[in-house]
Amino acid sequence: MASGSRRAVLSAITGNAFLTVLKFAVALPTQSAAMMNEAVHSLMDTLNQVFLLIGLAQGERRADARYAFGHGQKKYLWNLWSAIGLFSIGCGLGLAHAWHAWHQLEKGAPVTDMIFAGFRIDPIWLAGVVLLIAFVVESYVLRLAWTEFTKRAQSQEISPWRKLFRPGDPTLLAVVLEDAIAVTGVMLAGCGITLSRVTGNAAWDVGFSVAIALMLGVTAVILGAINMRLLSDVRDREAEGIFETIIKAHREVERYHDLRSIVVDEENTVLVAEVEIREEAVLAGLRRRIDEHEEALLALLSESRRDDSELRAYVADRAAVQATLERTEQLIDELEAQLRNRCPRVSHVTIEVQGIAEDSRSRF
């Protein structure tokens, strides 16, 4: 899973770094507020994806003495810093530039043609070419990210659109959202520049630049909320539901208590619960097991010590305890195996046997 996210992030970094240079190079001669905010947008996307890449590298580190369940949540932390920090800064810079451009409308100098290699070039056409290149590049990166996102959804047998609201991997979702917004931003910038040229009113350009800046702010809020949720010890309701289904279908378990879970990252969930075992499930065949253990223990003793009453009592007690522990351990192993088989991301399971539920036919 991480390899798909890494590939999407690297593609996004390469594409956005290239577009950042192009957009800044064209924003200055065209004096377009929308193009400048698009350049800021691409710069923030590039820096954000660098943060995502760092988060992926940090999150892949294994468990150690300090991080018992691995470093997976560091990925969400880097994503949170990126969303709240970079996109909020990008939104603020974009709005500040739009405000400045608005106040410069009255005294703004007309855009003049550029002379390049002896040819006169209209900067608006240059802006159009850059926006077209940006649209192609952003669409390609979005397609890569969406293909990987869809593949993940299909592997989990859920709709990709439903997965947008229940993301397991916020890194991949961040790339999908950023590139979708980037494609939209390119179209908004194109509309602003075109309307300004056609109508002769630069207010269109400023207005669309405000829309681009606000999109960065919306991205910060969405990604910040998603990563904050995953950093807040969120429960894995799906894993808990699967555990409940397994318990209800298991003939040897009467009921469960205190079921809890924590999502560590998209590949690791910790689940704990207490169960009560049915009396008949524990007692069935237990006498035979105790006898087998008792015979095995007595076989280890010399003939002279087998008649020692205290030693035989100890052997009988130990055989009973060992047989009971083996039976409960076998049951817990069965429950864990069924849970992991149906929900592989449950990497750590703790099931405690709280007690034995009496059979209604019990003599006690």
Domain containing residue 177: CATH number: 1.20.1510.10
* Per-residue pLDDT at 364: 45
Count: domains in the chain: 2
The whole domain housing 326 covers 237-357
Residue 82, pLDDT score: 75
- Domain match, 135 and 64 both: yes
Both tokens assigned to 290: 């105790």
CB neighbour list of residue 288: distance below 8 Å, 6 or more residues apart: none
- In this structure, the answer to whether residues 333 and 243 fall within a common structural domain is yes
- Going by C-alpha positions, the residue among 99, 79, 105 that lies closest to residue 37 is 99
Higher pLDDT: 97 or 269? It is 269
Return the number of other C-beta atoms located less than 10 Å from residue 266's C-beta: 22
The answer to whether residues 17 and 74 belong to one domain is yes
248 lies in the same domain as 274 = yes
- Are residues 303 and 209 both part of a single domain? no
DSSP string spanning 93-108?
A: HHHHHHHHHHHTTTTP
For 297, the 3-state DSSP assignment is helix
The pLDDT, as a whole number, for residue 336 is 92
Residues 205 and 310 in one domain: no
List 271's β-bridge partners, or say none.
Answer: 261, 349
Q: How many angstroms separate the CA atoms of 361 and 354, rounded?
A: 21
Query: Is residue 362 situated within a structural domain?
Result: no
Quickly list H helices, the chain: 2-30, 33-59, 73-81, 88-103, 123-155, 160-165, 170-199, 203-230, 237-249, 279-283, 286-299, 309-342
Clarify whether residues 160 and 42 are in a common domain: yes
Domain assignment present for 364? no
Q: Taking 60 as the threshold, does the pLDDT of residue 118 lie above it?
A: no
Residues 176 and 286 in one domain: no
- % pLDDT > 90, the chain: 5
> Is the confidence at residue 119, as pLDDT, over 60?
no
Residue pLDDT, tens place only, 270-326? 899 998 887 776 677 778 888 888 888 878 877 777 777 888 888 888 888 888 888
Of residues 50 and 362, the one with the higher pLDDT is: 50
Does one domain contain both 93 and 36? yes
Q: What is the pLDDT of residue 339?
A: 92
- Is 143 domain-assigned? yes
- The token pair at 7 is 């590939």
Any domain includes 46? yes
Most confident of 121-130, 185-194, 231-240: 185-194
**pLDDT number for residue 328:** 82
Q: What percent of the chain has pLDDT above 70? A: 84
Using left for φ > 0, alpha for ψ between -120 and 50, and beta otherwise, residue 118 falls in left
State the pLDDT at residue 158.
66
Least-confidence region, from 195-199, 242-246, 342-346: 195-199
Confirm whether 84 is domain-assigned: yes
Domain boundary among 230, 261, 293: 230
For residue 255, list its beta bridge partners. Answer: 276
Amino acid at 338: Q
Residues 253, 168 within the same domain: no
Same domain (yes/no): 202, 263: no
From first CA to last CA, the distance across the chain in angstroms is 54
Kindly state the greatest CA–CA separation across the chain. Answer: 114
Q: 180, 204, 230: which is the final residue of a domain?
A: 230
- In tens, the pLDDT along 169-222 reads 677 777 788 788 888 888 888 888 888 878 878 788 888 888 888 887 888 888
Show which of 184, 204, 230 is a domain's final residue. 230
- Tell me the sheet residues that pair with 257: 274
Distances (CA, A) of 106 to 109, 194, 200, 211: 9, 20, 13, 21
Which position has the higher pLDDT, 225 or 50? Answer: 50
* 253-265 sheet: strands from edge to edge: 253-265, 268-278, 346-357
> Do 252 and 224 have their domain in common?
no
User: Hunting for tokens 């280890």 — which residue is that?
Assistant: 300
Question: What's at 267, amino acid-wise?
Answer: E
363 within domain boundaries: no
Q: Cα–Cα distance between 342 and 75 in angstroms, integer?
A: 26
Can you tell me which residue has the tokens 């594409």? Answer: 15
